[in-house]
A and B are shown apart, each in its own frame.
Chain A
Amino acid sequence: MHHAGDELRLLQAKQGSDQAFAALVGAHQQAVRAFLRRLTASPADADDLAQEAFVTAWSRLDRLAPGVSFRTFVCGIAYRKALNDRRRSKRRGERDGAWLSLHDDIETPSHETRLTLEAALQTLPIEQRAAVSLCVAEDYSHAEAAAILGLPLGTVKSHIQRGRARLCALLGVKDE
């Protein structure tokens, strides 16, 4: 997931260039926000978390390991922020429908009551949702997804397999 020109922009951003960092934000905002929108309950929450993730990335640019793309770096931060946000929401005991629908005991709907993609995604546990979002929707490799989610490769593959199977069942799509 390396973008053309990212290396130079990263170098300039590390040296303090706002223009270079703005260019990096412009190039990767779509992927980061799309990823977060699949993890959170509302687009507004996702955009707030995406903003926080980019600001945190800016303040930690010097910690970006060589060979790791900026997008992978930001998505990793975004995922941890989404997890923290979810924990905070749970602690507060907010009865948010999206979070409550994370349980696995929801019955698979029949063909007539197919769910939309967004609703179907919300029924998956957050790890499965994140893994499917990265590898199926965004075309990340399994290794990159493992780096972003901070999980072992085998666990990520298992999440993708289970998540995909469940999504296909919910959406009435044949899992190929």
Chain B
Amino acid sequence: MSDALKAIFAAEPVVSTRDWAFELRVMAAVERRRFRRNVVQMTVVALAVIMAAIALTPALAPVLDGLYALPVFGVMISVIPAVFVILRQARFSRP
């Protein structure tokens, strides 16, 4: 069916098979989208943590008096997910 039409389409050079500039452009856009998404997530989490800390401080005051390094420990622990994500990405990026 419509071989002549298919031949016309086939003869029309439309897009090159490999276009590094376009691929780079797409990956840069993906990176921007990921950055935006991460910033939104981190902002939401940070706001939630701040609000929770404000709300819970009076209740936790007796505990914090005894364990005054607990907030610092909490901050250190919160870095672990980020390290995990970086390591996973590095594993995929290996040649």
Contact = CB atoms under 8 A, between A and B. Distances in A.
Interface of A: 12, 15-22, 25-26, 29-30, 33-34, 37-38, 47, 50-52, 54-55, 58-59, 117-118, 136-137, 164, 167-168, 171, 173-176
B8 A47 contact: no
B19 A176 contact: no
B23 A137 contact: no
A55 B33 contact: yes
Interface string B3-47: 111101100101111110011011101110100010000000000
A173 B5 contact: yes
Contacts of B29: 51-52, 54-55
A172 to B, nearest CB: 10
B88 A16 contact: yes
**Majority SS of interface residues in chain A?**
helix
B9 A137 contact: yes
Contacts of B26: 22, 25, 29, 50-51, 54-55
B2 A30 contact: no
Contact of B92 (A20, A167, A175): A20
B89 interface: yes
A173 B25 CA distance: 39
A123 B85 CA distance: 50
B93 interface: yes
Contact of B14 (A19, A25, A34): A34
A35 to B, nearest CB: 9
Given A29-B19, A34-B15, A117-B12, A136 B92 contact: no
A105 B78 CA distance: 65
Contact of A18 (B4, B27, B85): B27
